[in-house]
Amino acid sequence: MSTAAAEVEAGSNYINVSYGVKSWLLTLDHKRIALLYLASVTLFFFLGGAYAILIRLELMTPAGDLVQAHTYNKMFTLHGVIMVFFFLIPAIPAVLGNFLVPIMIGAKDLAFPRLNLASWYIYMLGALFTLYVVLRGGVDTGWTFYTPYSSAFSNTYVIVTGLGIFITGFSSILTGLNFIVTIHTMRAPGMTWFRLPLFIWSHYATSIIMVLGTPVLAITLVLLILERTIHIGIFDPTLGGDPILFQHLFWFYSHPAVYIMVLPAMGVTSELVANMSRKSIFGYRFVAFASIAIAVFGFLVWGHHMFVTGQSVYAGMIFSFLSYAVAIPSAVKVFNWTATLYRGSVSWQTPMLYALGFIGLFTIGGMTGLFLAALGVDIHVTDTYFVVAHFHYIMVGGTLMGYLGGLHFWWPKITGRMYPEAWARFAALVVFVGFNLTFFPQFVLGYMGMPRRYHAYPEEFQVLNVMSSAGASILGVGLLIPMAYLIWSMRYGRPAGPNPWMAAGLEWQTSSPPPPENFHVTPVVREEAYTFRKT
């Protein structure tokens, strides 16, 4: 411990190797770029969260009395746009992935450090477009931009928002490309494919979706912008277009995008479950291939967003069946994580609390996906709060839990210092309770028939809405606590040492924080992933 403490104080690491704003803004170190992303996505997370709080305040009462309908519509649109494109999609890959992918495979950096820095600047440029929209008066199409409302009716900043997302998409593509090339070409000697940590497998699967899916979103947004500006008539029925075509194109990216959000969180969970119970992941190869299966099947299920649009009944059946097929690899992962705990040494420290929370909440999110994939039930619950609850269980219960768990687990590696354990456990509990109180009532509301995106609603829905709003305030507090103690710990936290968890993995064999080149000597891998030994 004392040598590690000395290293935090004196040794050269990626944080203290150079000083000054320029040394950060022009850095090519993947670890510093990860921290740039950390700051940016945190900012956007709290901005998107502020909209969520306003939405829940409005929905405390049946009447639309806090803000006007037009304002409300802009709030849920910006909540969705910011959370999806500027938090959920980049959060784990661009922060934890950027930091960990090279270290976990024993490399000095990503394959293309300059592209990596460029991806952050591209993200920030897209973010500036979005901030411009926020300041100038917003956009009211919903994050889904359905035509012809977005192309011919909305009088808000659709084009600027679309451009912001279009630009940000390229940062995703570059990150995905960088990961794929890095994982293929820069593994340390002895680091075979089946010795890779599952975090790497899931990021590899994610990268495939980023590289193949994001261009389709870009094309869709360009078509939408052309439709709005020069009326090319591809989506607008009065010009001979087809509004449903937009939905096909949009969901062809945006359904796989759900897996961009959740696959990395699954990777984090695999690491946490293995390391915090000191057990090799049960069925390593099944979990690894499940990630690839999800990435591939994820591209074939977009039509399940459109069961009530009037697409052919038979197309509906095919999409329904494939949606059930894509659920199977996710279920396999859940079973394997559970089995990993068997006869393990299960820690109850914060990262594990988040990991177990992830499994539980992702299970509920996934199970309710089975309701939505059932054609007959989907007719009733689609476009209601049931869907809202379902995807928040996946994205908040899944992605956010994974992100927070990962952030706590690797915080000692990133900063060299421990977070305060008692506070962190308390916050994890508050987040878990607040989350469930916020979103579980929404399943019930949805089945009762409350449509989503409603500014005002009939009185019989009020009790459940008040519960949901109460939960949201608890969740909000639960998310501010980590913000406070993590910042505190950067200065006052206990020095962590290279491996505070007795965890396996190359990242724990180097110092905390790691030196700029990650390892003083290139490591040679001689054993399977998750081989634990006393340190």
Partner 1 sequence: MTPWIPFMPERASTFAWRVDALYFYLLGVTIVFSVLIAGLIFYFAVRYRRRVPDEIPEPIEGSLKLEVAWTVIPFLLASSMFVWGASVYFSQYRVPSDVMELYVVGKQWMWKFQHIEGQREINELHVPVGRKVKLTLASEDVIHSFFVPAFRIKHDVVPGRFSTIWFEATKTGQYHLFCAEYCGTNHSGMIGWIHVMEPADYENWLSGGAAEGSMASIGEKIFQDLGCITCHRSDTQGRGPVLAGLFGKQQLLQNGETILADENYLRESILNPRAKVVQGFQPIMPTFQGQVSEEQVLQLIAYIRSIGSLPETEQPLPGAPPSAPSPSGRRTRLQTAPKNR
Q: Which of residues 208-237 bind partner 1 (CB under 8 A)?
A: 237
Please identify which residue in 212, 502, 515, 525 interacts with partner 1, judged by CB under 8 A. Answer: 502
Answer yes or no whether residue 70 interacts with partner 1 by CB under 8 A: yes
Find out whether 77 and 141 touch, Cβ atoms under 8 Å. yes
The residue type of 362 is F
Answer yes or no whether residue 54 interacts with partner 1 by CB under 8 A: no
Stretch that binds partner 1, among 215-223, 275-283, 407-415, 424-432 (CB under 8 A): 275-283
Stretch that binds partner 1, among 24-32, 249-257, 366-374, 485-493 (CB under 8 A): 366-374
Shortest distance, CB of residue 244 to partner 1, whole angstroms?
Answer: 6
Shortest distance, CB of residue 377 to partner 1, whole angstroms?
Answer: 6
Task: Compare residues 317 and 487 and give the one whose CB is closer to partner 1.
Answer: 317
DSSP 87: I
CA 162 and chain centroid, separation: 20
Stretch that binds partner 1, among 11-19, 82-90, 339-347, 486-494 (CB under 8 A): 339-347
184: alpha, beta or left, given left = phi > 0 and alpha = psi -120 to 50? alpha
Shortest distance, CB of residue 234 to partner 1, whole angstroms?
Answer: 12
Stretch that binds partner 1, among 195-203, 219-227, 334-342, 411-419 (CB under 8 A): 334-342
Nearest to 418 by CA among 338, 499, 337, 359: 499
Please identify which residue in 8, 101, 173, 359 interacts with partner 1, judged by CB under 8 A. Answer: 359
Shortest distance, CB of residue 51 to partner 1, whole angstroms?
Answer: 16
Task: Compare residues 45 and 51 and give the one whose CB is closer to partner 1.
Answer: 51
Task: Compare residues 11 and 64 and give the one whose CB is closer to partner 1.
Answer: 64
Residues 460-489 that bind partner 1 (CB under 8 A): 464
Rounded to 5°, the CA angle 350-95-405 comes to 15
Shortest distance, CB of residue 504 to partner 1, whole angstroms?
Answer: 10
Nearest to 519 by CA among 506, 528, 531: 506
Please identify which residue in 179, 253, 307, 519 interacts with partner 1, judged by CB under 8 A. Answer: 307
The whole-angstrom separation of Cα 308 and Cα 251 is 15
Please identify which residue in 28, 108, 188, 242 interacts with partner 1, judged by CB under 8 A. Answer: 242
Nearest to 506 by CA among 166, 99, 170: 99
The residue type of 119 is S
Nearest to 531 by CA among 294, 214, 278, 164: 278
Task: Compare residues 154 and 178 and give the one whose CB is closer to partner 1.
Answer: 154
Three-state SS sequence of 270-321: HHHHHHHHCCCCCCHHHHHHHHHHHHHHHHHCHHHHCCCCCCCHHHHHHHHH
CA 256 and chain centroid, separation: 12
Residues 383-402 that bind partner 1 (CB under 8 A): 383-384
Token pair in block for residue 331: 């279920």
Task: Compare residues 277 and 518 and give the one whose CB is closer to partner 1.
Answer: 277
Please identify which residue in 375, 433, 467, 525 interacts with partner 1, judged by CB under 8 A. Answer: 375
- Helix axes 30-58 and 69-81, enclosed angle (nearest 10): 160
Task: Compare residues 28 and 292 and give the one whose CB is closer to partner 1.
Answer: 292
Where b means 16+ CB within 10 Å and e means fewer, 231-252 reads eeebbbeeeebebbebbbbbbb
Answer yes or no whether residue 447 interacts with partner 1 by CB under 8 A: yes
Stretch that binds partner 1, among 21-29, 294-302, 320-328, 417-425 (CB under 8 A): 320-328
Nearest to 351 by CA among 415, 274, 287: 274
Q: 């449509």: which residue's tokens?
A: 451
Task: Compare residues 141 and 510 and give the one whose CB is closer to partner 1.
Answer: 141
Burial (CB count <10 Å: 0-12, 13-18, 19+), residue 6: exposed
- 3-state class of 219 per DSSP? helix
Where b means 16+ CB within 10 Å and e means fewer, 421-441 reads eebbeebbebbbebbbbbbbb
The whole-angstrom separation of Cα 203 and Cα 102 is 12
Shortest distance, CB of residue 394 to partner 1, whole angstroms?
Answer: 15
Shortest distance, CB of residue 474 to partner 1, whole angstroms?
Answer: 21
Residues 89-148 that bind partner 1 (CB under 8 A): 140, 142, 146, 148
Residues 415-444 that bind partner 1 (CB under 8 A): 444
Shortest distance, CB of residue 42 to partner 1, whole angstroms?
Answer: 29
Nearest to 425 by CA among 472, 475, 478, 474: 478
Residues written for the chain: 535
Token pair in block for residue 380: 């009733």
Please identify which residue in 2, 19, 20, 343 interacts with partner 1, judged by CB under 8 A. Answer: 343
Answer yes or no whether residue 313 interacts with partner 1 by CB under 8 A: yes
Task: Compare residues 328 and 487 and give the one whose CB is closer to partner 1.
Answer: 328
Please identify which residue in 124, 181, 339, 467 interacts with partner 1, judged by CB under 8 A. Answer: 339
Task: Compare residues 178 and 270 and give the one whose CB is closer to partner 1.
Answer: 270
- Helix axes 421-448 and 350-373, enclosed angle (nearest 10): 10
Stretch that binds partner 1, among 4-12, 108-116, 279-287, 489-497 (CB under 8 A): 279-287
Answer yes or no whether residue 379 interacts with partner 1 by CB under 8 A: yes
Find out whether 513 and 35 touch, Cβ atoms under 8 Å. no
Please identify which residue in 27, 171, 291, 382 interacts with partner 1, judged by CB under 8 A. Answer: 382
Nearest to 384 by CA among 324, 447, 340: 447
Task: Compare residues 159 and 375 and give the one whose CB is closer to partner 1.
Answer: 375
Task: Compare residues 185 and 238 and give the one whose CB is closer to partner 1.
Answer: 238
Find out whether 351 and 409 touch, Cβ atoms under 8 Å. yes
Total residues interacting with partner 1, rule: CB under 8 A: 94
